Structure formats: structure tokens, C-alpha cells
Amino acid sequence: MAEKEAIEEAHSKLRSKFLQVIRFSTRRRCEFFPIVRRYKKAVSRLYENSPPTKEEMEIMESCPKMETENLEELLQEENFYLEAHSGRRIQWLPVVIYKLKESDESDEEKRRPAVVFLHSMNKNKDFLRPLLKAYASRGYVAISVDTCYHGERATNTHAYRDALTYSWASGKSKPFIYEVVYDLMRLADFLTEDRDDIDPSRIGITGISLGGIHAWFAALADTRYSVVVPLIGVRGFRWAIDNDQWKPLADDMEVLFDVARHNLGKDRVDKEVVEKVFDRIAPDLTSEYDAPYSIPAIAPRPLLIINGAEDPLCPVAGLEVPISKATQAYEAFQCLDNFKFMIGSFYTQFIAEAGVGHQITRLQVKESCDWFDRFLKPDT
């Protein structure tokens, strides 16, 4: 009991400090409840790189769904902006929601579990529509958003790259993680307080790659996200720097690190450049908010981490300490079954799916569904 109380206190302090960083980093201190502004589905879809491949879309389409010929007719789609006032600024968060059309249900029956889906870098919420429709067909309210400088929030195909570079140069914005976490907290306000079709105690969150990072840190900040599944996102930032495994991270945001290298008077990107960039665009990410501290703080909520065995961005070796500390936390809460780390075709603490790098797979999509069903729809 003493160990559990000590862990709870440590997690509470970490969360409180992280929330202070979020509010300071985003310059958002005066907050009002978000306002909904509805609109028709957006036509233009901006991708920084090429649009999703056929294989990527087939993986999205592989998500388990209701078997029916007229699924589209059974689904209800909503598109709107959340207008979140913050001081003198107005932040627009584009949201898409899918759910089954309502029948004659009681108030209790119509409150459904919900899952928030977050896209990867240089993609957008439209890429996730197959997942949203599949989950909606199975009784969920499925939600996605365009994160900072993506999709409808991008004015050109290099908006996110430019935003990261500006974050490094000015230190006045934090679009890499912290601004997105703030948006997701405001989204949680809306989902829990303004929707009569969502059970506020059953809201899950998941994301792919960068979206997995966003899901991870949104769960750290906001306990209303009650089930968490980061896909190919969890990594040890400090471990990568200390063990000379930082190059894939730098290559993933090549322009940003090249600008930083030049500003620091370096001939090439090195460990010092990488550390300074992360300290600038996401303060304390490589220290007290890194995976060894923030991943255990999700306990006792159900957490499934899925990575590839050969993923250069999320090296397996860099997760040994976070997994060990998370296991200790879940054991203290006497709910070890609420935590699984999957790198393979079956659940255990440390199994590798051979040959899988930084990519989403059909297996990951299926296992995510099973995890959410287990904890958000336990009676089905």
C-alpha cells in the first residue's frame, strides 16, 4: 500500500508539472469552453509528402467492422471545428466523428464508448476515415482531428516543417507535442461535457507514429483518456541520444535539424544538435517527461504499446527501462493485466515481430481493436 501511495503521489506531481509546461508553452492561461462551429466535409487534403499508398489504405481498411452491404447508410458523419478561445487567441480544431445512426434507445443505452484517433506526421484525419467507420460500425463514437499544421490547419504542403523550424528559431511555439496535447485536452472537455451520446468514463485514445506520441502525452496530461494505445510511437528520447541512436530521429525531421546545425555553426548534425533541438521544441522531453517517467504515469489505466522489432525510430533496447518501470507501477496498482507491451504476434512483456520497422500493420490494427473492446466494451 505504501508503494502504491508513493507512486500515485509521484505521478500526480509529474502530471501537475507537465500541465504547467503545457499552459506556459502554449501561452494559454485564460480558457473558455470550446464552441462548436459546424461545416460540410472539407474537399482539399494537404499531404507534405505523397498521399497514402494503396498498401497503407488497405491496412486501414483491414480494421474489423460490421459485415453489411449498406454500412455507409447506417453511419452518421459529423464535421465541425472546435473554436477554443484562449485569451485573445482563437484556436480552430477540425474534428470528424463517425457513429451509427441513433435508434430508439434509452438515455443510458445511447451513451457509447468513444475512441480518438491521431494521424502520423505529414498525414491528416482523412487518412484515418476507414478506421473511424470500422469502429463506428462496432458501436463506438469514433473521432479524429487534424493536429497542428496538418490537414485543414495547413496552408501549404510544408506547413508543419516550417512550424517546427520556427519553434526552434523563436522558442515561441511548441507544435511538436505540447500544443497538440493542449488541443486534445480541449477535445476531452467537449467529449465529456457536451456530448450526450458518449460515456465520459469510456474514452480511449490511439495514434500512429507521431500520433502515437501525441496519444501517449495526452494520456499523461489528461486522465479522462481511460484506455491508451500508442502505435509505433513510444520511444526513449534520452536513450537514443546517449546511445548514439539519434540519427533516425534527426533524419525524420531533416530540415529542422539541418537548420539547427547551421545556426549552431556545425558542419554536420551531431548529438549536441539533437539534444538542443529537443530541449527547444519540447522542453524536458529528454529528461523528466521522457518514457521512463511518463509511461508509468499512465497506470493504472489500460495501456497497450505496439512497436515493430526493427523500428529504427523506436529501438527495442531503448524501451527496457520504461517497460520495467511501467510494470512496477501496474504491479503496485495490482492490475498488471492492464499493461501490455507488444512487439510481435502475441502478447507478452517483450516479443518481437520480425522484420517490422517503422510501419503500421494489419496485426497492429487488429490487436488495437481487441484491446479497446476488452476495456471499453467488456460486456460484448
Residue 90, pLDDT > 70, answer no
Q: Contact 71/98 with Cβ under 8 angstroms?
A: no
Average pLDDT over residues 90-101: 88
Predicted confidence at residue 24, as pLDDT, reads 77
Residue 322, pLDDT > 60, answer yes
Band (103; pLDDT cuts 50, 70, 90) = confident
Average pLDDT over residues 163-167: 96
What would the pLDDT profile of 244-259 be if each residue is shown by its tens digit?
A: 999 999 999 999 999 9
Q: Do the strands 75-86 and 89-100 form a parallel or antiparallel pair, or are they unpaired?
A: antiparallel
Cβ neighbours for 93, distance < 8 A, ≥ 6 positions apart: 34, 81, 82, 84, 145, 146, 183, 186, 187
Mean pLDDT over the full length of the chain:
89
Residue 227, pLDDT > 60, answer yes
What would the pLDDT profile of 6-60 be if each residue is shown by its tens digit?
A: 999 999 999 999 999 998 766 554 455 566 666 555 544 666 666 889 999 999 9
Q: Contact 337/302 with Cβ under 8 angstroms?
A: no
Average pLDDT over residues 48-73: 88
DSSP 8-state code for residue 103: -
Please confirm whether the linkage preceding 300 is cis (ω < 30° from 0).
yes
Residue 104, pLDDT > 80, answer no
Sign of the torsion angle spanned by Cα atoms 142, 145, 150, 153: positive
Cα–Cα distance, 43 to 58 (Å, whole number): 22
Average pLDDT over residues 144-168: 93
Band (278; pLDDT cuts 50, 70, 90) = very high
Predicted confidence at residue 346, as pLDDT, reads 40
Average pLDDT over residues 280-296: 97
Sign of the torsion angle spanned by Cα atoms 103, 115, 180, 308: negative
Domain 2-376, second-level architecture: 3-Layer(aba) Sandwich (3.40)
| Position with higher pLDDT, 379 vs 233 | 233
What is this structure's pTM?
0.93
